[in-house]
Structure 1
Amino acid sequence: MTVPADQSIRIILADDHPIIRKGVLAVLEGSEIQVVGEASCPVELLSLLDRIECDAVVTDYVMPSDSSPDGIRLIERLRSMRPQLPVIVLTMLRNVGLLQALLATGVRAIVDKSTAMSEVHTAIRLATAGHIFVSSTFEGRLARFGAHSVSRLTDREGEVIRLLVAGMSVTEIARKLDRSVKTVSKQKTDAMKKLGLRSDMEIYAYAVEAGY
């Protein structure tokens, strides 16, 4: 979905911190970008998206919720509901694997919340015009690793990562999933390569950030 340059842009804004939402509203005030809905949690965001027409969604990455998906699962849910709708993610997380996973889901823009909020306007404008935007603070990290070298985890790889984070060993996972230890070990290794992770500690850190 692209929006002509001479047309106003309608967005839904989601962040669990009111001060962030106010900051974004202040940046967009008087511009061609109109906030048609605000959400403070995933449940509200999904409800708004189901009821309100918009041209893009600007959402925080971490909005903990007991009753709705958060993190990467929330982004995937948004993408499944409205595949053509540009999604702009706000985050302070800098894990390269996570940034790449977001781009792999089809996210159009990733904005660093710790930098000037003025980037949000640029990100929305570019994303709705069909382009990709990544904050400069993230670009360097992605460039060093190779922004397009990582593909999404398969369901089986994701399952292995989740069980590892839950405290299970490769042997225990193999037994639980009825796979060979060799297969589970390969799935773990493949997942680590895709995410740019080098140790079990980095797996745990990534999983927490990604909402596994």
Structure 2
Amino acid sequence: MIEKNIIILDDHPIFLEGLKRLINNEPEFIVSDCCKNSRELFFSLSLAPANIALIDCSLPKGELNLKSLVEQLSFHYPNMNIVTMGDCHQQQQISTMLKPQIKSYFCKSLSPENWITGLRHISCHHCKSGQMILDDNVDVEILSMQRLSAKEKVVIEYLHAGLTVSQTALRLSRSVKTISSQKRAAMRKLGLNRDSEIFRLNMNKL
């Protein structure tokens, strides 16, 4: 397995350390460097280019604005995927306006599982054609790493409608064990961690 190098620009030490540990726990990723400002970022990239750059939208005072920073990164490192990170709707809107240079926006309050799911999605070649927004609202089109099977989709549709696993098993003439297994598989593919997240799915994108 070839590791994907990730470089991070963020001046919040606690968040930075936590994110670094989270990413380095995954065998397919490695954090090549953590930078506190754009000067450190460009110096590090000149030594070792990265596959993904995670950029905090809240840049320190005296820094380049986000638009200028993204333009310079896109010019010098056109093959690097730029992902912005933030914690408010305004930062998400700014990131959206800067596509296609910015490939994705991640909300900082994402669960650890969804951070990794999002990074895996960015690593796929098919992410390069557009931008995805990854926030606290589950979006099947974003989080789906694999397509659901027809049976898994039906199970999720019944659960989304409010039926229990037992009721779904009865409706589909299958065992509770089978429905539970298909439910777990579908939730894994969709990046869901809790049953309650099923009700937030956009079924039109399933």
TM-score range relative to shorter protein = 0.5 to 0.7
Greater Cα offset, 13-22 or 68-77: 68-77
Structure 1 distance, partners of 2:113, 2:37, is 23
The answer to whether 1:53 aligns with 2:52 is: no
Verify the 8 A CA contact 2:6 2:50 in the aligned structure 1: yes
The answer to whether 1:108 aligns with 2:103 is: yes
The answer to whether 1:86 aligns with 2:81 is: yes
Verify the 8 A CA contact 1:75 1:105 in the aligned structure 2: no
Q: Specify the code of the residue in structure 2 equivalent to 1:26.
A: R
Q: Tell me how large the CA RMSD over aligned residues is.
A: 2.2
101 and 52 in structure 1: CA distance in 2 versus 1, 3 angstrom threshold? same
83 and 56 in structure 1: CA distance in 2 versus 1, 3 angstrom threshold? same
Of residues 72, 76, 81, the one that matches 1:77 is: 72
Post-superposition offset of 1:46: 1.5
Verify the 8 A CA contact 2:10 2:36 in the aligned structure 1: yes
Of residues 18, 37, 47, the one that matches 1:23 is: 18
Higher relative contact order, chain-length normalized (CA < 8 Å, sep 6+) = 1
TM-score, normalised relative to structure 1 = 0.56
Which sections of structure 1, spanning at least 5 residues, go unmatched? 1-5, 141-212
Structure 2 distance, partners of 1:139, 1:74, is 29
The aligned length equals 133
Post-superposition offset of 1:18: 0.8
Post-superposition offset of 1:33: 0.6
Structure 1 distance, partners of 2:33, 2:40, is 10
Matched residue, 2:35: 39
Structure 1 distance, partners of 2:95, 2:50, is 25
User: Map of 1:1-212 to 2, 5 A cutoff?
Assistant: 6-31=1-26, 32-66=28-62, 68-95=63-90, 97-102=93-98, 104-130=99-125, 131=127, 132-137=131-136
Runs of 4+ in 1 over 2 A off after TM superposition: 114-120, 136-140
Post-superposition offset of 1:23: 1.5
Q: Which has the larger radius of gyration?
A: 2
Structure 1 distance, partners of 2:137, 2:46, is 31
